[in-house]
Amino acid sequence: MASAEEVAKAAERRDVRDRWLLSAPALLVILLAATGPLLIVLVYSFLTPGAYGDVKWQFSPDAWISVFMERDIFDDTLSVAVAHVTIFWRSIKLAVVTTLATLALGFPTAYFMATRSEKTRDLWLFLITIPFWTNLLIRTFAVLQIIRNEGIINTILLKLGIISAPIQILYTDTAILIGMAYVYLPLMVLPIYASMEKLDFRLVEAGYDLYATRFKVLRKIIFPLVKPGVIAGSILVFIPALGAYVTPVVLGGGKNMMLSNLIELQFGQGRNWPLGSALSITVMVIVMLALLAYVRNAGRSGVRHG
């Protein structure tokens, strides 16, 4: 008996070892070309800004203090960094709304794709990705053409006499929202599609046999089953939206900064790399906390439904 136990243990050890080997390439690439170099950023956040960018190798907590507190340059009082809080809050808000918007559009679209005949599904998959074979900048410029005052929407509405003057969409938060929802939509559709494609419709049938309404079937059967896809999609949209750089500049008119613009300012014209580093780490921590909370929450309710 003891030997059987040993065999099982050895098998388990082998399994764990294999799993490490399998994940090694991904971990290695990420360590070398993404995570590892970030340690530099962590170190930089505790240094003194160099005169014209870069850092001086001299310890200073100033960067971290000025993430949260600001010293008024005129009356020298220390207070909460209102500007930073405002920018963080605006970015988070826009990212959340973008995620919800893409979910509302993306879920039915993924469902539609997944319920096509097996042969045409790949075609739909390609149809949804083709617009994205052009890069983000080009797509953002294309959106700009549509929502600007002389753009298609305003021209049609004017011609139809529905409005008498163009609606100013461009250079508003709505424009940023439209742009981000547009550019990040496939990040929502694809993961949901990937987990929905496998959906066992016998379960749905069973639901109808028990006289469930369509909405109830959707909520109680379909949604819980594709939850991993919804979670993956939400993460893939939320985080890039939070760090969006191009879209706010092109469509929002750049009057109000988002997180990325604030950080970019420190590494660019502001020449305060330590503050840029400290702000970046703050963003990372916020994202990680949000992610943990979200995955925990979603995971728990998933279990309840499943």
Ranges within 253-292 binding another protein (CB under 8 A) = 253-257, 259-273, 276-277, 280, 283-284, 287-288, 291
Closer to another protein by CB, 164 or 269: give it: 269
- For 49, the enclosing helix (H) or strand (E) is strand 47-49
- Write out the two tokens for 247: 């879209």
Q: How far is the CB of 160 from another protein (least distance, A)?
A: 17
Q: Report the candidate in 91, 69, 63, 59 with the shortest Cα–Cα distance to residue 173.
A: 91
Among 167, 194, 220, 294, binds another protein (CB under 8 A): 194
The footprint of another protein on residues 87-146 (CB under 8 A) is 87, 104-106, 108-109, 111-113, 115, 119, 121-123, 125-139, 141-143, 145-146
Q: Pick from 20, 93, 293, 305: which binds another protein (CB under 8 A)? A: 20
Can you tell me which residue has the tokens 């400290």? 278
Strands 47-49 and 78-80: unpaired
Contact, 279 vs 262, CB < 8 A?
A: yes
Check if the beta carbon of residue 68 is closer than 8 Å to that of residue 75: no
Sole binder of another protein in the list 10, 78, 80, 150 (CB under 8 A): 150
Find the binding residues for another protein in span 158-177 (CB under 8 A).
170-171
Q: By CB under 8 A, tell whether 70 contacts another protein.
A: yes
70 phi and psi angles, rounded to 5 deg: -130, 140
Which of 214, 216, 296, 305 is in the footprint of another protein by CB under 8 A? 214
Spatial distance between the Cα atoms of 196 and 162, rounded to a whole number of angstroms: 40
24-63: which residues touch another protein (CB under 8 A)?
25-27, 29-38, 40-41, 49, 51-54
CA distance linking residue 52 with residue 50, whole number of Å: 6
